[in-house]
């Protein structure tokens, strides 16, 4: 025990701790961390489905989640101070309560969504907060309670926070890896939540049993704990500690948001990307907490100056390492898989994550009330984390580049390290400031070497060469859009169309847009979900029967790119077109009375994150309510057989056109004669699309109109160059499963 501990108290703690093993507490908090992260992944995904995946909805849902954790931390800290209370027993009861809520959570979310989906952002924020308040408060209360219990046994705050934080974070990291590799793919949302609820109940029951065992063996109760402080050395002022904890959370979460921004692009926005990134991030935090807890136990027990030196070194090293992660990724993916570069995230997050336990150790006296004191630091850390996520993800990305944000976070981290150094010793301060200043100057002098060709490197990977250059790159909070020298558009790192409507150079399959004339005789009122390059919408707006088009696009960055291209720029000034920046599903929910003759979705790849929100049974049933009599929903299946069979089973009438599928509640007649008539007179911006006096143009029209039916096509014709009726689709795809909101199709 520490030499500063009063002798009677030292003998009491030594006697009691000697009869107990620490491993049950680590296992309990490890197990507790597993379902917590699983809930976060599933609940956020479920709420995104209900309230949209536009950045506003994502922000309010994540903020509501973190706010609940913060309030729970305060409640747990307050609860830990009550005399006569068994904190371990309360922890067990809380775990059981979380499990009960988790078991019914998705049902509750969907019931509430029936009345609130499609609401304003403000109402969505309030609803999300109310839905998440109880479970997140319960989750947030567990760390202060267990820390209070552990400090009574060990007499060391830093060791207790570090070890428990490590165990809990490690459990969350394991949950991320299993969710991405197995659970979400095999069990879907409801199955994953059931697993999480079962683990909560087991953890809660185990904690209750352990608390009763402790009481029968004579464990240290609240009433036995003397009214004195163990740590009689100096500590930081509480407000200074809270400020530092908040700053540490701000920097750590801001970097996590920035890293996800980059990894999302590098992975093509695959659903497992977030879980993998979060898993490696938490793995690093867990290791950092574990490494520093031994330092707190052995060296930093009562030496505030030494603690501040260690904290300063950790924050400085962590800030530099975190800053270098993105350049390292960009320069590595040419040679290794981007998955391997996630190790760099673990290294940086280990350093950033180690700061919180050290700050707690420097700010909290070892004694009664440690749980309450921790709760203030914990809530400050959570508030800082939420502000970091909000500032970078919601605001900074609309105005600053990835490089600029990286430099900004580096300077914030170095400034924080400098402040910590001032709490150590003047000599250390001068040296630290000098070294940090030199390092920042060096990094400022080489931005081109670090960030040059950032998105080209991550996009082309092993095919990258020095001449590869995007013509345009638009970065904003909704993602990254890039355009290559051939006017091909990449949204979030994958193909997303091209600025091209030339039928004789049909590299982007524009014939599928013109085919609308064969699917509906008079599509007067049209809805387009997904504007992208605007090429398809340009075709629709100029259809001779169309009177108005509503286009819903989630990323406003496309508008600036459309403005620069003469082939589509007239769209932005066409009175027939109205553009809404919103999530497509959310827009339909918010406009229940809107009706259309034709709904077009040039849907993104079926395996991308949240793609099934526009492909599931539930979405198709929602879209069906917005069709007029005889209306047609026409969307890209991106060659997914599950997407095709889902549409064919939800609607009584279906027709596959190449890799698109048209579905309706009315018979669909593929009118080749009308298609040919419309093509021969089609005009865009006052100019004929086809010159019927030109042989090549006439042959193109005839080739399109003669598209074979699947039963008639020759063996040399790929099925996607044909049309196929519903009966043939169902026969061919009878073994395919439907896509639902719960199973999320092929995303995982």
Burial of 468 (0-12, 13-18, 19+ CB in 10 A): middle
CA angle 725, 729, 730 (to 5 degrees): 120
- Phi first, then psi, for residue 592 (nearest 5°) are -65, -20
Question: Which tokens in the block code for residue 600?
Answer: 């077009």
- CB within 8 A of 502, min separation 6: which ones? 510
Domain 504-732 classification at class level: alpha beta
656 forms beta bridges with: 661, 724
- CB within 8 A of 713, min separation 6: which ones? 719, 721, 722
What is the pLDDT, as a whole number, of residue 575?
A: 95
CA angle 519, 639, 269 (to 5 degrees): 115
pTM for the whole structure: 0.86
Decide if 687 contacts 534 (C-beta within 8 A). no
Strand boundaries in 434-573, DSSP class E: 472-476, 479-483, 488-491, 494-498, 525-529, 548-553
Q: How far is CA 585 from CA 118, 376, 611, 710, 744, in A?
A: 9, 40, 11, 32, 15
Q: How far is CA 632 from CA 295, 400, 539, 642, in A?
A: 66, 42, 17, 20
Angle between helices 304-332 and 238-267 (to 10 degrees): 10
Please state, in angstroms and rounded to a whole number, the distance separating the CA atoms of residues 294 and 379. 24
For residue 735, how far is the Cα from the chain centroid? 32
What is the pLDDT, as a whole number, of residue 22?
A: 66
Helix/strand number for the chain, H first, E second: 27, 14
Question: Which tokens in the block code for residue 49?
Answer: 């489905």
What is the pLDDT, as a whole number, of residue 10?
A: 37
Question: Which tokens in the block code for residue 729?
Answer: 């689709």
Which regions of the chain carry the CATH code 3.40.50.150? 504-732
Please state, in angstroms and rounded to a whole number, the distance separating the CA atoms of residues 745 and 572. 35
Decide if 289 contacts 169 (C-beta within 8 A). yes
End-to-end CA distance of the chain: 50
What is the pLDDT, as a whole number, of residue 232?
A: 42
What is the pLDDT, as a whole number, of residue 223?
A: 45
Which regions of the chain carry the CATH code 1.20.1250.20? 7-449
What is the pLDDT, as a whole number, of residue 15?
A: 39
Place of tokens 């809107």: 594
The segments of the chain whose pLDDT lies below 50 read: 1-20, 218-233, 300, 712-718
Q: Which residue pairs, CB below 8 angstroms and at least 24 apart, start in 590-595?
A: 590/118, 590/119, 591/118, 591/626, 592/118, 592/625, 594/527, 594/550, 594/626, 595/525, 595/626, 595/627, 595/628, 595/631
Place of tokens 């989750």: 139
What is the pLDDT, as a whole number, of residue 711?
A: 57
What is the pLDDT, as a whole number, of residue 432?
A: 59
Per CATH, the architecture of 7-449 is what?
Answer: Up-down Bundle (1.20)
Please state, in angstroms and rounded to a whole number, the distance separating the CA atoms of residues 123 and 147. 36
Q: How far is CA 417 from CA 151, 194, 410, 623, in A?
A: 27, 43, 11, 53
Strand 472-476: give its sheet, edge to edge.
472-476, 479-483, 488-491, 494-498
- CB within 8 A of 441, min separation 6: which ones? none
Burial of 217 (0-12, 13-18, 19+ CB in 10 A): exposed
């Amino acid at each position: 025990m520490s030499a500063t501990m009063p002798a009677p108290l030292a003998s009491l703690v030594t006697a009691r701790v000697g009869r107990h093993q620490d491993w049950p507490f680590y296992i309990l908090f490890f197990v507790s961390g597993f379902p917590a992260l699983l809930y976060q992944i599933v609940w956020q995904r479920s709420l995104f489905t209900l309230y949209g995946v536009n950045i506003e909805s994502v922000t309010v849902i994540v903020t509501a989640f973190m706010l609940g954790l913060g309030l729970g931390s305060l409640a747990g800290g307050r609860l830990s101070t009550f005399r006569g209370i068994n904190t371990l027993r309360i922890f067990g009861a809380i775990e059981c309560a979380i499990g009960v809520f988790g078991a019914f959570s998705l049902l509750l979310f969907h019931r509430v969504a029936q009345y609130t989906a499609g609401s304003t952002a403000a109402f969505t924020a309030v609803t999300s907060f109310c839905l998440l308040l109880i479970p997140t408060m319960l989750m947030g209360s567990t760390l202060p309670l267990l820390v209070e219990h552990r400090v009574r046994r060990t007499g060391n705050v830093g060791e207790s926070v570090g070890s428990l934080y490590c165990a809990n974070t490690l459990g969350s990291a394991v949950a991320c890896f299993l969710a991405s590799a197995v659970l979400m793919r095999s069990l879907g949302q409801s199955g994953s939540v059931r697993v999480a609820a079962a683990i909560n109940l087991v953890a809660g029951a185990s904690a209750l049993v352990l608390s009763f065992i402790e009481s029968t063996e004579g464990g240290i109760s609240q009433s036995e704990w003397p009214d004195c402080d163990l740590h009689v050395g100096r500590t930081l002022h509480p407000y200074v500690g809270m400020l530092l904890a908040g700053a540490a959370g701000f920097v750590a979460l801001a970097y996590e948001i920035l890293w996800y921004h980059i990894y999302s692009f590098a992975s093509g926005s695959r659903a497992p990307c977030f879980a993998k990134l979060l898993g490696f991030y938490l793995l690093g935090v867990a290791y950092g907490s574990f490494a520093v807890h031994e330092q707190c136990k052995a060296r930093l027990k009562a030496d505030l100056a030494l603690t501040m030196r260690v904290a300063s070194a950790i924050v400085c090293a962590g800030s530099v390492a975190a800053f270098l992660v993105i350049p390292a990724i960009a320069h590595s993916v040419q040679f290794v898989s981007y998955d391997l570069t996630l190790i760099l995230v673990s290294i940086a997050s280990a350093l950033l994550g180690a700061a919180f336990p050290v700050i707690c150790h420097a700010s909290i006296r070892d004694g009664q009330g440690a749980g309450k004191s921790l709760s203030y630091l914990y809530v400050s850390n959570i508030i800082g984390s939420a502000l970091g996520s909000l500032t970078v993800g919601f605001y900074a990305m609309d105005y600053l580049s990835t490089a600029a944000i990286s430099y900004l976070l580096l300077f914030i981290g170095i400034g924080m390290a400098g402040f910590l150094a001032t709490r150590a010793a003047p000599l250390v301060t001068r040296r630290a400031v000098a070294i940090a200043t030199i390092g920042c100057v060096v990094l400022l002098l080489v931005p081109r070497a670090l960030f040059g060709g950032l998105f080209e490197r991550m996009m082309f990977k092993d095919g990258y060469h020095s001449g590869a250059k995007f013509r345009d790159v638009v970065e904003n909070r909704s993602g990254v859009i890039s355009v290559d020298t051939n006017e091909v558009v990449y949204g979030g790192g994958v193909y997303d169309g091209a600025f091209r409507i030339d039928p004789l150079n049909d590299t982007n399959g524009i014939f599928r847009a013109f085919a609308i004339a064969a699917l509906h005789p008079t599509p007067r009122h049209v809805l387009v979900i997904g504007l992208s390059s605007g090429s398809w919408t340009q075709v629709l707006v100029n259809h001779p029967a169309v009177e108005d088009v509503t286009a819903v696009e989630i990323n406003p960055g496309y508008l600036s790119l459309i403005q620069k291209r003469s082939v589509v720029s007239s769209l932005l000034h066409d009175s027939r077109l109205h553009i809404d920046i919103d999530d497509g599903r959310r827009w339909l929910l918010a406009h229940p009375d809107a009706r259309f003759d034709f709904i077009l979705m040039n849907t993104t790849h079926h395996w991308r994150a949240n793609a099934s929100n526009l492909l599931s049974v539930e979405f198709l049933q929602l879209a069906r309510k917005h069709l007029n009599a005889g209306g047609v929903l026409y969307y890209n299946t991106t060659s997914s057989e599950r997407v095709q069979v889902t549409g064919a089973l939800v609607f009584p009438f279906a027709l596959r056109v190449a890799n698109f599928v048209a579905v309706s509640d009315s018979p669909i007649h593929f009118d080749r004669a009308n298609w040919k008539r419309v093509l021969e007179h089609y005009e865009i911006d006052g100019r004929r699309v086809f010159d019927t006096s030109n042989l090549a143009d006439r042959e193109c029209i005839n080739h399109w109109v003669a598209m074979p039916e699947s039963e008639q096509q020759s063996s040399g014709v790929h099925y996607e160059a044909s049309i196929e009726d519903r009966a043939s689709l169902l026969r061919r795809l009878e073994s395919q499963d439907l896509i639902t909101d719960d199973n999320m199709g092929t995303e995982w």
